[in-house]
Amino acid sequence: MAMRYIPEPFRIKMVETIKVLTREEREQKIKDAQYNVFKLKGEDCYIDLLTDSGTGAMSHDQWAGIMRGDEAYAGANSYFNLLKAGQDIFGYEYIQPVHQGRAAEKVLLPLLLCEGKFAISNMFFDTTRAHVILTGARPIDCVVAEAKQPAARAPFKGNMDNAKLEALIKEKGADKIGVIITTITNNSAGGQPVSMQNIRETAAICKKYNIPYCIDAARYAENSFFIKRDEPEFKNKSMREIIRETFSYADMFTLSAKKDGIVNMGGLLGVKDEKSKLVTDIKAQCINYEGFYTYGGLAGRDMEALAVGLYEGIDEDFLRYRIGQMEYISSRLEDAGIAHQVPVGGHGVFIDAAAMLPHIPYNEFPAQALVIELYKEAGIRCCDIGSYMLGNNPDTGEQLKSEFEFARMAVPRRVYTQAHFDIVADALIAVSKRAKEIKGYRITWEPPILRHFQASLEPIR
């Protein structure tokens, strides 16, 4: 039986009109987009769950911040307001604004990695994986085995497999490991959280082998809520206390603020020790690629909105509602017998397309096939987190087989209501009833890296 929907802890002051295309129109739109949902127009999507990145609704306080933005090229007041907020929340001495998370990766990772080196993570998401490869290094995923069983309920399925991590360090050689990254929450594993104990253990291994430890912090607030809820040691701790301890174990972090920062554009790069040479190098890289280091590719108004959003994103009432949205959708899908990663994660619901479409092999992209069917069914846009997104082996060119074949429905913050989520659940149920009729897809053109953003596909007849 579906759980009770948690009411919104806010009032709605502005609305945006959306429309529903007919089934025939949707079928033509996705065909014209060469069966790539990234090529669809936003206005042609009724419920857009493509990503929760930069798609949230800002508050009246954030919009007020927009008006206060100081657009000085160097040393703007808005920069110092953001710096103060970042230092307060994360406890790091150096906070570098950048225009989004992948910019932080572009600035940082070439300083740590090069050809012949490796980066290890609990699981790399697409842009991080790509930036590792672009340095000439190679990424290695090291998530716990429980994550690979979507139907199996276990806490903290996003954890690093620390026994495997230490074995990999010994196998490759500590001098060959340029950085170890914990992604919180673990997006590729279904938005699954990482426990504080796991972070402590990973940090101890990094310290033992003198390897830099980085947190990919895009959804750090959601992860902190799970720690408070599910890790007994932290049930009486505040969000601020949990966040401070989480980041105390790492040397640096990258952050796409377009998620838990609840802004449409922005990111941060943090370093614990401001006096380290790494900070000097980051400033130089930032000036080269993003702009002067006191704005990092952001307008002053963006920095003001982010300084406010960082605090709004860690509000416990908001996070309870946020996670409750995912639990509501999950409960409806469980009632219908639709397999997905459970327990549900923080920012979306990840449908197990391999379970729904077992007749479609990984190299015909079952998750992408499900994504396309959802758009045809109800104008819902989501995305593949599977073999289609994973791409090809950078050394051999062969199609890689993903650990998962997920269709990710990522929920924007403060945007959709219970009625929208009921439509999503109903659409999935309808698609599941005709699952045996659904066919796979082949790629007709693809770029060499991050192909899922641009590739062209066609259905296999």
- The set of catalytic residues is 73, 125-126, 216, 218, 259, 452
Nearest to 414 by CA among 309, 271, 296: 309
CB 313, CB 257: distance < 8 Å: no
CB 391, CB 452: distance < 8 Å: yes
Question: Amino acid letter at 67?
Answer: M
- Residue 66 token pair: 């927009």
Question: Kind and range of the H or E element at 182?
Answer: strand 177-183
- Residue 354 token pair: 């391999």
Angle between helices 196-209 and 162-172 (to 10 degrees): 20
DSSP, res 175: G
Distance CA 72, CA 270 (A): 22
For residue 414, the number of C-alpha atoms closer than 13 Å in the C-beta half-sphere is: 25
Angle between helices 300-312 and 60-68 (to 10 degrees): 150
End-to-end CA distance of the chain: 38
| Residue 341 burial class via C-beta count within 10 angstroms: exposed 0-12, middle 13-18, buried 19 and up | buried
Contacts of 39 (CB under 8 A, 6+ apart): 33
CB 370, CB 217: distance < 8 Å: no
CB neighbours (10 Å) of residue 254? 28
